[in-house]
Amino acid sequence: MNTRHLTMIASGMVLAGAASLAFAQQVDVGKREYGAVCATCHGPSGTGDGPMAGYLSGRLPDLTTLAKRNNGVFPFAHVYDTIDGTAAVKGHGSREMPVWGPRYMEKSTEHYRDFPAPYDAEAFVRGRILALTEYVYRLQKK
pTM passes above 0.85: no
Going by C-alpha positions, the residue among 59, 51, 69, 66 that lies closest to residue 91 is 59
DSSP state, residue 60: P
Mean pLDDT by 10 residues, the chain (142 residues): 54 54 72 91 92 81 95 94 75 51 66 64 82 96 89
Model pLDDT, residue 123: 78
pLDDT at site 122: 79
Q: What does the alpha-carbon distance between residue 65 and residue 80 come to, in Å, rounded to a whole number?
A: 16
What are the φ/ψ torsions at residue 65 (nearest 5 degrees)?
Answer: -115, 20
Identity of residue 62 = D
Q: b/e map of 8-45 (b: 16 or more CB within 10 Å)?
A: eeeeeeeeeeeeeeeeeeeeeebbebbeebbbebbbee
Please state, as a whole number, how many other Cβ atoms lie within 10 Å of the Cβ of residue 90.
7
* pLDDT value at residue 97: 42
